[in-house]
């Protein structure tokens, strides 16, 4: 009966992938599915990009499986380690592995991700949650993503004819 919205956003907070999952499930199991759906068209010819430069995520995505997945694809993980995982690792001693390292300065830019989620969830069509079907709820989330992208395109200055010549 419940559903949860999962998104991948770009560096400006604009949604790239929008999926709806079961509300009782965690965030981490949806991560590989989100990454599999990521395809960003290039400006020129060529295949769409499916590998971002880095992934900024919160502590819910700090697992060995996710870090291994990102490392195997050459993606920088900017994900802090929760205190309980840090404690489990240190109790295991040398078998616990190395401490997780991430760029603290780069993690500060995660607020863009949170603002993107907040902007999407506060949209009236999604905030009221009148939709009974997950498909309809996802349709509303995709519609909001389209409006955000169109707004971004409308805010960018376009060159005049004299500048483009």
pTM: 0.76
d(CA 138, CA 46): 29
Q: Show the tokens assigned to 33.
A: 């599915």
Question: Number of structural domains, the chain?
Answer: 1
49, 39 contact by CB (below 8 A):
yes
Tens-place pLDDT, residues 114-150: 888 888 878 877 777 777 788 888 888 888 889 988 9
Tens-place pLDDT, residues 75-89: 999 988 888 877 777
Tens-place pLDDT, residues 4-47: 888 898 888 888 999 888 888 888 899 999 999 999 888 889 89
Q: Show the tokens assigned to 2.
A: 């419940």
Domain interval for residue 92 = 3-156
């Amino acid at each position: 009966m419940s559903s949860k919205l999962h998104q991948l956003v770009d560096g400006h907070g604009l949604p790239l992938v929008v999926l709806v999952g079961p509300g009782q499930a965690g965030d981490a199991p949806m991560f590989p599915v989100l990454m599999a759906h990521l395809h960003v068209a290039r400006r020129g010819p060529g295949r769409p990009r499916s590998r971002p430069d880095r992934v900024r995520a919160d502590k819910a995505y700090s697992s060995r499986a996710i870090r291994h997945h990102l490392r195997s694809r050459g993606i920088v993980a900017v994900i802090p380690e929760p205190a309980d995982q840090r404690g489990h690792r240190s109790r295991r001693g040398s078998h616990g592995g190395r401490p997780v390292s991430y760029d603290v300065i780069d993690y500060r830019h995660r607020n863009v991700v949170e603002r993107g989620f907040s902007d999407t969830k506060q949209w009236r069509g999604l905030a009221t949650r009148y939709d009974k079907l997950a498909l309809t709820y996802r349709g509303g989330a995709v519609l909001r993503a389209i409006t955000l992208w169109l707004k971004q395109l409308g805010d960018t200055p376009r060159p005049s004819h004299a500048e483009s010549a």
